[in-house]
Structure 1
């Protein structure tokens, strides 16, 4: 492919990404892969170059662009070497007088007032940096120091005792330690959410929003003797946990829940859990490094719905915690309403519950929780709080 043809391919992919964001369809990574499955003439260099163009254009556009051409033209206006490609053979059509690209912005204008006051505007650009690849060592079967030398360029994560950090473009899917279940891909921030649960053998631990089970696997590795139940309302996501648990050598029970009957379906866990983890559905604003088009999928209406769901999940979790047990609430978000605001609302109706400091030696204290951000902590952005029910 010529440079002009690569630019045109990027525009076509961006049109699909924009439509998918509006329709809540597949993410950009999947769209890029699907695009090239039907274009066998594109070599590996072409695929890498086009992918880089697409994500550069996505990262610079906080608002949904009018079109793929608008997004790419905005990028080209900051990188003049691309401007000359408009009008070339197999490239985008020539630029017409007065045509402008999408403006550059880190955070959608409507969302800026929602950002936690602890995250200064000067830190916002780091929210879109390329994220490293973090691995979690399966503590039940392996030692981090022993595995460190098996991954070129790897370093121990700064905060998590289980983590290894690799360059962002490292491939590990065919590495023996990965295929044998000795390591799993997991951002350090997610590892720290499991750490905040303080898992121990003999505990009853319920992961209420387990998804594909990354944090349940971390809990099982840290406390192989714990009884762990992973639940979710999405059958497709939850079904991915069982084969992952087999590979990791973990024993984790799963249970599909049917809203609004969660408490009925968890009656055997009522007031008996030592720890309930609520890693709630959220805006994903802390994961924009990995999913920059997530900004295009968020709206005021969607955020309001998420905040309501988070509050409902806290209500459910509270009924499952035993006296003296803990509720760990976490969101991969830097928005005030999803983090500190939720915990403040929860505690205001439960004066006997108390907030307890988490064993995370990083982040910034905010209300009754802790906020970590990429600029300071090197993790995805997330909020976590540990709330204890009185005996």
Structure 2
């Protein structure tokens, strides 16, 4: 593909991504995979170059652009090589017209930038759209970090989580023999810290209330040394179905699953009331802490959507609280950097849960305000809010 053909492919992809963001469609990485599945003529270098153009244009445009062409024009305004690709050639985009309006540059829509300013300093905002590192979690059911580091000379130990390993971007992890053998899982170090905050002990009952595909569930199984009872719940059948084969590869045998009906979770979990040592609520959220991986996600957000998410989060915390045994813990986490989904949510829970107390999620036994914030700028992880609450005995 010529540079112009790559630019045109990027515009077509950006058109699809803009439309999906407006209408609640598939994520950018899914759309890119579909695009190239039907275009076998594109070689690996072409696919990589188009993908880089697409993500560079997405990261630059704070507001959702009017079109894919507007998004790439924004990139062309800063890059003469991209601008030169608008050459009108048979497979390339039409030349740039003097009156065309490129997408505006920015971190996010203005209302979101203002909301993020409640928790982040202005100089932290650019880090939300930087390239994310590649983190692995060592599966201690099968090995330890020293052996994984020996097997991956380019890897370094994570700075925070006990089982974290960081690698150069672009490594094909799933092609590694140690991945096939279940030694490692792809998991951001911040996500690993959430599992650590649960302090799940062998022989106990632990519930992962919003398990999804089970990344944190598998980390909990390893922390429990595969002894006890671990129940992974979710309302998404497709995502939850991906956990079983992952558990087999990881050697985790204690994991059971429950598919829940949205809004009727409590009834399906009634037999577990008051019996769990730990309940993890990794709640549905805005995803503002994961823009490094999904930068187009900021185009999907509205104040109304966040208000609905906040209501769901509060309801799920109350469902989880009823499952915690006396003296047990509720760990609440969101991959969000918005105060409404983090500190305000934690404070509201304490206000309606008499006798419950908050402690530092990363330091056992230490009293702490309601929650801790992990940020890409400060902690070099995805952005997370994590709180740990204990039920009175």
Residue 273 of structure 2 corresponds to residue 279 of structure 1: no
Deviations 1:151-171 (A, max 9, x none): 242000000001110012111
Deviations 1:262-295 (A, max 9, x none): 1221111101111000000000000000000110
Q: Distance in 2 between matches of 1:116 and 1:212?
A: 32
In the alignment, what sits opposite 1:374? 376
Contact 2:119 2:338 in 1 (8 A): no
Consecutive unaligned residues in structure 1, runs of 5 or more:
none
Deviations 1:338-384 (A, max 9, x none): 000101111111231100112269xxx99410000011101100000
Residue 259 of structure 2 corresponds to residue 267 of structure 1: no
Q: Distance in 1 between matches of 2:359 and 2:260?
A: 29
In the alignment, what sits opposite 2:65? 65
Q: How does 1:312-323 map to 2 (within 5 A)?
A: 312-323=315-326
2:291 is matched with which residue: 273, 279, 288? 288
Report which stretch shifted further, 296-305 or 310-319: 296-305
Aligned with 1:173: secondary structure? helix
RMSD of aligned C-alpha atoms? 1.4
Residue 19 of structure 2 corresponds to residue 16 of structure 1: no
In the alignment, what sits opposite 1:91? 92
In the alignment, what sits opposite 1:353? 356
Q: How does 1:1-391 map to 2 (within 5 A)?
A: 1-89=1-89, 90-115=91-116, 117-223=118-224, 224-251=226-253, 252-359=255-362, 367-391=369-393
Deviations 1:112-132 (A, max 9, x none): 222163410101101111111
Structure 1 position 261, deviation (Å) = 2.3
Aligned with 2:295: secondary structure? coil
Q: Distance in 2 between matches of 1:384 and 1:246?
A: 29
Contact 1:192 1:360 in 2 (8 A): no
Q: Distance in 1 between matches of 2:117 and 2:330?
A: 22
Q: Distance in 1 between matches of 2:123 and 2:368?
A: 19
Aligned with 2:86: secondary structure? coil
Aligned with 2:244: secondary structure? helix
Structure 1 position 253, deviation (Å) = 0.6
Structure 1 position 97, deviation (Å) = 1.8
Contact 1:116 1:334 in 2 (8 A): no
Deviations 1:32-85 (A, max 9, x none): 121122222211111110100000000111211000000000000011222222
Contact 2:14 2:67 in 1 (8 A): yes
Aligned with 2:114: secondary structure? helix
Structure 1 position 173, deviation (Å) = 0.9
Q: Distance in 1 between matches of 2:207 and 2:264?
A: 16
Q: Which runs of 4+ in 1 moved over 2 A?
A: none
Q: Distance in 2 between matches of 1:60 and 1:97?
A: 21
Consecutive unaligned residues in structure 2, runs of 5 or more:
none
Contact 1:340 1:366 in 2 (8 A): no
Structure 1 position 244, deviation (Å) = 0.6
Q: Distance in 2 between matches of 1:138 and 1:47?
A: 32
